[in-house]
Amino acid sequence: MPDGAHLKPELPLVLSRYKDALDLALKDVISDRSIFLYDMLRYCMGWADANGAAFETEKGKGIRPSLCLFTCDALGGDIEEALPAAVSIELIHNFSLIHDEIQDSDEIRHHRPTLWNIWGIPKALVAGNVMRVLADKSMSTVLPDDSKLLSASSSIVSEACLEMIEGQYMDISFEGGNSISVDQYMEMISHKTGALLRSSVHIGAVIGSRGGRVADIFREIGIKLGFMFQIRDDILGTWGETTSTGKPVGSDIRRKKNTLPIIHARETQTYQEEITELYSLESIEDHHVDRVLDILDATKASHYCQGLVENYALDVSKDIENIGISKNSKEEFKELVSFLVDRNF
Amino acid sequence: MPDGAHLKPELPLVLSRYKDALDLALKDVISDRSIFLYDMLRYCMGWADANGAAFETEKGKGIRPSLCLFTCDALGGDIEEALPAAVSIELIHNFSLIHDEIQDSDEIRHHRPTLWNIWGIPKALVAGNVMRVLADKSMSTVLPDDSKLLSASSSIVSEACLEMIEGQYMDISFEGGNSISVDQYMEMISHKTGALLRSSVHIGAVIGSRGGRVADIFREIGIKLGFMFQIRDDILGTWGETTSTGKPVGSDIRRKKNTLPIIHARETQTYQEEITELYSLESIEDHHVDRVLDILDATKASHYCQGLVENYALDVSKDIENIGISKNSKEEFKELVSFLVDRNF
């Protein structure tokens, strides 16, 4: 198990401070209409059960919208101005989750059945699409008096959304492939996960700095945070504990996912053939999972992956030092970075 | 067979005049990126075969974008200004087709295999989503110097897109239902088909009149055109010839679709039970189709449906008389209305 995967760190301030404001704003956007379709969205967000009755359950970390608001905040902006953008990004994230779950036939998310699993693919597909339109609607209300910044912000989200979808396409295309290189993989995750995460930091900075050039630096930071986030996700999908991740140990292996640990191990000549064989099996049993975990141990895959995460963290910490935000904001930002290095959920 | 369904009228000028400009603009938006995903979009648009090689095939009628440009044109606007909106609406239409085909398990469109049928659901889903983002991108370039009109135009499309998706949801919810009323059905099609068609007329008028109040009248006309279009579609899906529609006679019956002819017939007490029984069968054979067609005859379903189409046409023709556009434009508009009454493809 990689360092830190056994700890459950506290949620850093950056991820907890804006939760209530975000929740209110998100509820405001989604509870607008009454047909049952919107209860599906509320279920997806963790506010309703499968019958549409009010219900509170474990939610996502809200890392994207929180980052958007924090960045705006740290640059002295008014978080109320960034709120519609943060909401938009969170809705796009949820849109992508709903469609991803269909694509990957995922039956469970956060310990609850996924939308398609309850309501079937056609309705889940539609629910995802509505989420996406609501995201657009929210985005269109950003900075109504500054059409230039509104247009810039919309473009950032639109471009990120396009890259994210292209990343999903690459990911699907990789499925069953045995020769994906680490470079190809990094390209894919920079699109699939990275683009939206990058856009949340970027757009918060654009709004917070009123279009200042500092936003470009935040954009670069956002790219690095995206890699950290996804690689740590791969670590958790391989070695994480069910109790914290909501998925069984080795769940990504069981699903024959091409994650970074696997791709790294496959680049080691000695095990290439064996992994390819194991990943060609109709179904992966417990002893196969154990064997893959042994190979990952032998190739020091967790050390390699966690090393990458820590390198990005170091890099981001340096970037943070060089931007013009308060000492306090720098500390908070670094606390978030530490969390992303060690998180086990 | 209803009046006119055996004729193949010429495409009216409104639908042919802008085709080249639209084609160029659409190709411009889609050919921007190179991964194979975009070849899937080109296949969908009828410009490429399943291997991505250039290819020209039968396309849709392009009624929505043509209406957008024509309305702008008729009001003395510059069609170049409306072009990005027309492109956006056509892309949204194609996005909805791709996802609809997944939802309805449609294997063929315009004599060609559908996207999911060739590339599987995950990739087709993604292709639809990209289509949607490209629509947004195109929309964001409308009237760059008039942020008020840009924002108004974006809202019109966004709202229409939301209604369209809600309509898809209603349609899916109706599936297998035996008690849908004509009113519920009209509500559903006003969303699923009507909203986007309405928006194309509305937005063309908003741009053509630079936000003038005449746009509201066009919006109302758009609503009526939407009903005409969908009800005629239901007629063609029931009685249309394969050669013109690309679907076998009775294809909607075979698929147990709740179309207006069926819903109307089911509102006649005498046949209610029999239709319900026929529509409960595992699979509908030729003699079942024949029996349903007999019932539709007995309930004068085609007369009823075509009567509605003609009433809307009459209504729209009156509206056209009362708007301030040239005599020539009025004639062209009426020619389009006649086409929508009689079209058999």
Interface check B103 vs A, CB under 8 A: yes
Q: Across all residues in chain B, what is the average pLDDT?
A: 92
Task: Please indicate, yes or no, if residue B154 is contained in any of the structural domains.
Answer: yes
Specify the pLDDT at position B119: 97
Quickly state the pLDDT bin for A308 (edges 50, 70, 90): very high
Q: Which of A327-331, A339-343, B51-55, B188-192 has the lowest mean pLDDT?
A: B51-55
pLDDT-derived band at B177 (thresholds 50, 70, 90) equals confident
Q: What is the largest CA-CA distance in chain B?
A: 61
* pTM higher than the cut 0.90: yes
Q: What is the pLDDT of residue B247?
A: 67
The stretch B247-263 carries a mean pLDDT of 88
**Residue A9 confidence (pLDDT) above 80:** no
Domain count, chain A: 1
Residue position matching structure tokens 């492109």: B87
* H or E element in which residue B337 lies: helix B327-342
CB atoms within 10 A of CB B323: 16
**pLDDT(A34) > 90:** no
Q: What is the pLDDT of residue A177?
A: 81
The residue segments making up the domain with residue B235 are: 13-342
Interface test with B, best of A38, A136, A149, A191 (most B CBs within 10 A): A136
Q: What is residue A229's predicted lDDT score, i.e. its pLDDT?
A: 97
3-state secondary structure B210-274: CCCCHHHHHHHHHHHHHHHHHHHHHHHHHHCCHHHHCCCCCHHHHCCCCCHHHHHHHCCHHHHHH
Chain A residues within 8 A of B160 when measuring between CB atoms: none
Q: Is there a contact between B129 and A99 if contact means CB atoms under 8 Å apart?
A: yes
Name residue A108's beta-bridge partners: A113
DSSP designation for B9: P
| Residue A8 within any structural domain of the chain | no
Amino acid residing at B220: E
Q: B108 has which bridge partners?
A: B113
Tens digit of pLDDT for each residue in A245-287? 666 778 889 989 999 999 999 998 999 999 999 999 999 999 9
A4 token code pair: 């830190």
Residue B124 lies in a domain: yes
| Residue A52 belongs to some domain of the structure | yes
Distance to chain B for A169, nearest Cα, Å: 6
Average pLDDT over residues A289-297: 96
B98 touches chain A (CB under 8 A): no
pLDDT of residue B284: 92
Q: Measured between alpha carbons, how far is B292 from A312 in angstroms, rounded to an integer?
A: 67
**Does B3 map to a domain?**
no
ipTM of the complex: 0.90
Q: Tell whether the model's pLDDT for residue B1 goes beyond 50.
A: no
Q: What is the pLDDT of residue A4?
A: 43
For A152, which residue in chain B has the nearest alpha carbon?
A: B140
Residues 13-42 of B with CB under 8 A from A: 33, 35-37
How close A78 gets to chain B, by Cα (Å)?
23
- Residue A223 in any domain: the answer is yes
Instruction: Report the pLDDT averaged over residues B213-240.
Output: 96
CA–CA separation, A126 and B100 (whole Å): 9
pLDDT for position A214: 96
Which residue in chain B is spatially nearest to A135 when comparing CA positions? Answer: B158
Place of tokens 């996005």: B95
**What pLDDT was estimated at residue B4?**
44
* CA distance readout (Å), B325 to B219, B220, B231, B317: 15, 16, 28, 13
- Is A1 domain-assigned? no
- The pair phi, psi for residue B21, each rounded to 5°, is -60, -40
Q: Which helix (H) or strand (E) holds A112?
A: strand A112-113
Q: Six-digit token pair at A103? A: 């694509």
In a domain, residue B300? The reply is: yes
- Per-residue model confidence as pLDDT tens digits over A36-63: 899 999 999 999 999 989 887 777 789 9
Range in A169-178, A267-276, B321-330 the model is least confident about: A169-178
Q: Range with the lowest mean pLDDT among A203-207, B132-136, B172-176?
A: B172-176
In this prediction, residues B17-35 reach a mean pLDDT of: 89
Q: Is A118 part of the contact surface with chain B (CB cutoff 8 Å)?
A: no
Q: How far apart are CA A90 and CA A88, in angstroms?
A: 6
Asked if A130 is an interface residue toward chain B (Cβ–Cβ < 8 A), one would say: yes
Nearest CA in chain B to A161: B133
A121 to B121: CB separation less than 8 angstroms, yes or no: yes
Q: What percent of chain B has pLDDT over 90?
A: 82
The shortest CB-CB distance from A133 to any of B134, B151, B158 is to B158
A158 in B contact zone (CB under 8 Å):
yes
A176 pLDDT band, cuts 50/70/90, is confident
Q: A172 and B35 in contact by Cβ < 8 A?
A: no
Q: What is the CATH number of the domain that holds A305?
A: 1.10.600.10
Of the candidates A33, A102, A133, which has its C-beta nearest B161's C-beta? A133
Residue A330 confidence (pLDDT)? 98
CA distances from A214 to A148, A312, A328, A336, B135 (A): 17, 20, 18, 20, 30
pLDDT above 70 covers a percentage of chain B that reads 95
